[in-house]
Homo-oligomer: A and B are copies of this chain.
Amino acid sequence: MPCEARQTAIILFYCPFVMDPFTMEKKNTNDIFHIFQPDLLRIEQALKDRFACENPFINEVCSHIIFAGGKRIRPLLTVCAARLCGRSDDAAYELSVVPEYLHAASLLHDDVVDGGVLRRGKPAAHILWGVNAVVLVGDSLYARAIEIATRFRNIPIARIIAETVALMAEGEIIQLLSSQTRRLDEKTYLDIVHRKTGALISASCAIGAHLAEAGPRRVRALTEFGRLIGTAFQMVDDVLDYAAKTEKLGKAAGTDMAEGKTTLPLAIAMERAETRDRERLMEILSSGRMTNEDLSWTRRILDQTGAIEETRKRAKAYINEACAHLVDTFSPSETREGLVTLAHFILTRTK
């Protein structure tokens, strides 16, 4: 990899600014959640108000995962999508809890399946309360979220949510099976990413549009926007799994590889690496563990082959395509620009 390209990769990774492709303004992504502060406060309140299960144990496990410092990107998308389509009353905030609860439920089950021990810097729920209880609390949280969605008496919202939960589970299954064979082509990777991450981020936008009873063109634009930024979100996640520090990430770096999961950065590195390096990557992937030395070496190979840079480049293309859908469909507004900024934040986030 030429020195210049490597520098670009580093800049892409560490730069706290992002160039908005439409306004051509530099945006400070550290400020991103400042823009949405009033929305975030109302979302936080709705998350507390809506989650009222009468069983104290279920409440405890759910609170552990729901109030552990998530970024609230999904509820923010629901609220912004509804506002972009003309609805900004309490209902949008109330509905916005649904994707966040579903996300939390999926994290509970995913940690059981992956055997993850840290989540958002705290011990994973199954470490604290055992696998059995966490499987059941996850079921209950999934079901409560769907039940809240049905309270809006809006059939498209209920259908999208149920369909999304099925896609999320199916995405995890396909990933689990592909990690057993240690093989992953890019089509399968994108299919997994769409199901396990893109579908819920897309649904977060789509249900906001449906709540506002938007027409099909606007629903489609927001659904696509969500799908594309969701795909980019997962690609950046897969980069951070190698590149970020454990304390920043809130879970061990290199976890994907230790769990035998091939993600896009690794797939690109394997394709581009020399035979000896490819063999060592396969060895680490198959070993079921990741020493500090393995991690440093893998990071070096990912850097040398330009795999990190290539993955970020693809994520950026998805973000640009996503924003084009918004710009083509909606007139300029503070909310539209907010969504564009949010989309770009996905590229520059460091955890």
Contact = CB atoms under 8 A, between A and B. Distances in A.
A304 interface: no
Interface residues of A, number: 40
A202 to B, nearest CB: 16
A219 interface: no
B136 A165 contact: no
A155 interface: yes
A135 interface: yes
A170 B153 CA distance: 24
Nearest to A153: B155
A57 to B, nearest CB: 6
Interface stretch (A6-14, A35-43, A172-180, A310-318): A172-180
A114 to B, nearest CB: 8
A15 interface: no
A235 to B, nearest CB: 22
Contacts of A133: 173, 176-177
Interface stretch (A117-125, A143-151, A271-279, A288-296): A143-151
- Copies of this protein in the complex: 2
Interface in A150-198: 150-151, 153, 155, 158-159, 162-163, 165-166, 168-170, 172-174, 176-177
A147 B135 contact: no
A300 to B, nearest CB: 32
B169 A143 contact: yes
A213 interface: no
A18 interface: no
A155 B152 CA distance: 9
Contact of A136 (B58, B109, B137, B155): B109
A35 to B, nearest CB: 34
A52 interface: no
A169 B139 contact: yes
Interface in A36-82: 53, 55, 57-58
B147 A166 contact: yes
A57 B178 CA distance: 12
A170 B109 contact: no
A128 interface: no
A298 B112 CA distance: 36
Nearest to A112: B135
Interface in A209-254: none
Interface in A96-127: 109, 112-113
Contacts of A131: 131
A293 B66 CA distance: 48
Contacts of A168: 139, 143
Contact of A140 (B139, B153, B173): B173
A173 B143 contact: no
Contacts of A177: 57, 133
B58 A173 contact: yes
A345 interface: no
A146 B145 CA distance: 12
Nearest 4 pairs between A and B by C-beta?
Answer: A143-B165, A143-B166, A147-B162, A140-B169
Given A136-B169, A140-B170, A150-B158, 14 more contacts: A53-B170, A55-B170, A55-B174, A57-B177, A58-B170, A109-B136, A109-B139, A133-B176, A133-B177, A136-B176, A139-B168, A146-B146, A146-B165, A147-B163
